[in-house]
Amino acid sequence: MKIIRSSPAMTAWSETLRLQGVTIGFVPTMGALHEGHRSLIRAARLRCDALAVSIFVNPTQFGPREDLAKYPRPIARDRALCRTEGVDVCFEPTVEVMYPSGFQTTVTVPTVAHRWEGEARPHHFSGVATVVTKLFGMVRPHIAFFGQKDFQQSALVQQLVKDLNLGVDIVVRPTVREPDGLAMSSRNIYLSREERMRAVTLYKGLRAGAEAIRSGVTSGKAVQAAMAEVMKREPSLKTEYLAVCDPRTLDPLPTVGGKVVLLGAVRIGSVRLIDNLLVSPSR
């Protein structure tokens, strides 16, 4: 496996392969790789001839009071996982490579970016949209793989690619979960043992919403109430939002007609966790 740090070297690798008709897959990550990332990498490995994974903890998508400094960076373990999974290139740009002096351009995707996670994290999604545009420019993949866990992020990337004609196919893969149902996340390591046990309540809440829908409940409010009911049982989890939304526009839905996404965000102590479920009414 090649480790590449510079943008020109990354692009040169890709352009050489493109000229040979090779299909290039790409999994952008912030490192601290877990089973969710592994499943993206495996999907990409199966579908593409050549595979690049980027590891870059992007400062512009963290708020000033967020966890940028303490975000885990187990680079040796991350590389080992990539090597094991047959990754061809591990792209590890530095902050200076990504944002050299004078850097100033931003990409914004307003409607996807300004609610739910966007409301809680005001500059998060323009940071994501900008870094993804840059990474696609550097890596020039044919196909890029994102996890459903960050549902809004995957919706944003799909809109971004369409709007700016970036010419990259986006594949969104299902969330990988711990045996009890907790969504895999690099931030789970922040949880104390006790918090970890309680954290699964978010998933249970979303499940209750999904069951309500499958049992025929169509009122968005009632579905939300079903989720909130479960959350109440674990008052140490502070709900930031629980929402029943259109999976494409992320608009909250007063009535469940077709496929919906249930979105949730909670705080446990100082840790913030998100999760979501895609649900189709049974009919």
* Residue range at the interface with a copy of itself (CB under 8 A); choices 46-54, 157-165, 188-196, 209-217: 157-165
3-class secondary structure, 183: strand
What are the φ/ψ torsions at residue 201 (nearest 5 degrees)?
Answer: -55, -35
3-class secondary structure, 123: coil
Examine the residue annotation and report whether 37 is marked as an active-site residue of this protein: yes
- Report in angstroms how near the CB of residue 166 gets to a copy of itself at its nearest: 5
Question: Residue 51 has which token pair?
Answer: 């595979």
- Report in angstroms how near the CB of residue 257 gets to a copy of itself at its nearest: 19
Q: Which one of residues 37, 134, 198, 207 is an interface residue with a copy of itself (CB under 8 A)?
A: 134
- Report in angstroms how near the CB of residue 137 gets to a copy of itself at its nearest: 3
CA distances from 43 to 25, 39, 140, 185 (A): 10, 6, 18, 18
CA distances from 196 to 65, 77, 183 (A): 22, 22, 11
The β-bridge partners of 261 are 245, 278
Residues 71-110 that bind a copy of itself (CB under 8 A): 102-110
* Residue range at the interface with a copy of itself (CB under 8 A); choices 30-38, 54-62, 69-77, 133-141: 133-141
- Report in angstroms how near the CB of residue 274 gets to a copy of itself at its nearest: 22
Residues 17-36 that bind a copy of itself (CB under 8 A): 18-19, 21
Of 10, 66, 30, the residue nearest 270 (C-alpha) = 66
Residue 4 binding a copy of itself, by CB under 8 A: no
Q: Are 201 and 233 in contact (CB under 8 A)?
A: yes
Q: Are 52 and 15 in contact (CB under 8 A)?
A: no
Q: Are 41 and 51 in contact (CB under 8 A)?
A: yes
Nearer to a copy of itself, 84 or 249 (CB): 249
- Which residue out of 37, 114, 124, 142 is catalytically annotated? 37
Q: CA 43, CA 80: separation in Å to the nearest integer?
A: 18
Nearer to a copy of itself, 7 or 224 (CB): 7
Active site residues: 37
Residues that bind a copy of itself in the complex, under the rule CB under 8 A:
7, 11, 18-19, 21, 102-112, 129-130, 133-134, 137-138, 140, 159-160, 163-167
